[in-house]
Amino acid sequence: MDFPDNIGTPFPGMVFKNKKDKDSPMNIVTVIGAGLAGSECAWQLAQRGIPVILREMKPEKKTPAHTTEYFAELCCSNSLRSNQLENAVGLLKEELRRLGSLILSCADETAVEAGGALAVDRHGFAALVTDRVKWHPGITLVPGEVTEIPEGEVVIASGPLTSDALAERLQALLGENCDLHFYDAAAPLVSAESVDMERAWFGSRYDKGTADYINCPLDEAEYDAFWQALTTAQEAEVHGFEDGKVFEGCMPVEVMARRGHDTLCYGPLKPRGLKDPRTGREPYAVVQLRKDNAQGSVYNLVGFQTHLRFPEQKRVFSMIPALHDAEFLRYGVMHRNTFLDSPRLLDRYYRLRSEPRISFAGQMTGVEGYVESAASGFLVGVETARRLLGRPPVNFPQETAVGALGLYVSNQAVTHFQPMNINFGIMPPLGYRVKGKRNKNAELSERSLTIIEKLKEEVLP
C-alpha cells in the first residue's frame, strides 16, 4: 500500500507476517475521527494487531463546539452519568471495563467526585486518551480534514459535527437517509470561588454517595422571576432550529421552561431529596453545580444546556441567588448534530449493509451519550479486527448492554428512529417477577455480566 508522504514511517513497531500483508489495504483500517468512538475503535483494532490510519482534522480545523487539540474532547457535560449497576449506563460502563475499554480506563483514572456518577476532569481525561492513542505502535495519525471516503476498510466516526465536505460525500453515498439533524447544547461553566456559599450548600440527592454537588436553592418568588426571565430571554440565532427538533436528552433549558411554569422543577431544578441544611426543608427549586475539573475550581450548571445569547446567559443565570456574582468561564453553546437512519442502513455491528467495508461508530449512528458512543466504537473495532483475521463475530446478545445497543440501532422494525441512550427497556425482560425496580435492574445487570464473563476470553486480545 502507498502511504501519504506526511505519515512518515508507517506503524512503528508493527510486525507484518509477509510483504503481501503489508501491501494489502484489506489489512489496514482507516478510522475517520478521534472522538470517543474513533479513539476506542482505533485502540481495539491496534490491540488486535490490525494497523490503523487515524484521520483527525484537529488541530488544523475545529468545529464550533471544540476548544482543544485533544482527542475524545467532551464538548458538553463532563459526566459519564451513573456508575450504579441498577442503572443501564452503569451496566454498560462495567461491561466495557471488563472487556478492556480504553475510554473507561482513562475515565476511571481521571475521575472527579460526583456522588454515584462517573465524572472526569475534562482536560485530564482527553489528554490521557490522546497520549495513549498517539503512542500506540499500531496507530498512525494523519491530521487534516477528510473530504473523500478512502478505499479499503473504513470506519467513519466523524461525530455529530461532521464537516460539511465529508457530510456531502456521505449524502452522496447514502442518499436522503443521511439528511437527518438535531441540535445539541452545552451548559455554562462557572468558577467555584465566585459561587456564594452562604446561599448554597454541598450535598448529593438523598445524601447518596459523597457531597459532591453545590446546591443553589430558589424560593417560589425567586423561581418565578427566574422563569419569567428565562422564557423571554433573547436566543442566539441557530439556522433551522425548531423546538420540535430538539432531542429530549439535550434540550436547552429555555425550551424546557417554555413547556410550563413548573416543568423545570420536575427536571434539572428538581428539589426532591435535597434538604437545605439551613431550613431542614426542600426548597421550591434547586440548581445543582457539578465539579468539572479535578481541582474543583470549575463547576458546570447541571442540565443548563442553552442557546441563549451570551449577555442573556449572564443576566438570567445570575438571577439564581447563589450565582449573583458568578464568573462565567464558558457560556453555553448550541450546535448542529447529525445522525443516520441506522435501522435502514446498518447491521448489528454498525456495518453499512450496502457496502460492508464501511462501518460507522459513535453518535452519528444514533447512540446517544458518551459511554454509548465509546461502546459502538468498541464493538466496531473488535468485530472489524475479527473479520480481517478470519474469525467469526462475537455474538453479544440483547441481554448485554453492548449487544442491545447494536441490535436497537439496526432494528428495521423501528419506524421513527431517534437517538437512544442505553436503557433496560431495549433489553429482554427477566422472565420472572422481581419486587422493586432497583432489584429488578440489579438482576438484569447480573444476568448481563454473567454473559460478559463467559465472552471475555473470546473478546479480549
Cα 197 to chain centroid distance, Å, stands at: 31
Say whether 152 counts as a known binding-site residue.
no
Report CA Rg, the chain.
23
Q: Can you tell me the distance from the alpha carbon of 56 to that of 65, in angstroms, rounded to the nearest whole number?
A: 15
Residue-by-residue DSSP string for 310-351: HHHHHHHHTTSGGGTT--EEE--EEEEEE---HHHHB-TTSB
CB contact at 8 A, 187 and 290: no
- Pairing of the two strands 79-82 and 153-156: unpaired
Say whether 38 counts as a known binding-site residue.
yes
- Residue 27: name the closest of 39, 14, 37 by CA: 14
Say whether 240 counts as a known binding-site residue.
no
Say whether 244 counts as a known binding-site residue.
no
Say whether 33 counts as a known binding-site residue.
yes
Torsion over CA: 120, 122, 127, 130 (sign): positive
Cα 147 to chain centroid distance, Å, stands at: 24
Q: Determine the 3-state secondary structure of 370 from DSSP.
A: helix
Say whether 159 counts as a known binding-site residue.
no
CB contact at 8 A, 188 and 304: yes
Q: Can you tell me the distance from the alpha carbon of 201 to that of 215, in angstroms, rounded to the nearest whole number?
A: 5
Q: Can you tell me the distance from the alpha carbon of 228 to that of 257, in angstroms, rounded to the nearest whole number?
A: 9
**3-state percent breakdown (helix, strand, coil) of the chain, nearest 5:** 40, 15, 45
DSSP-assigned letter for residue 237: P
Q: Can you tell me the distance from the alpha carbon of 450 to that of 453, in angstroms, rounded to the nearest whole number?
A: 5
Tell me the H-state helices in 49-163. 88-98, 102-109, 122-134
List the binding residues: 33-38
Q: Give binding residues for FAD as ranges.
A: 33-38
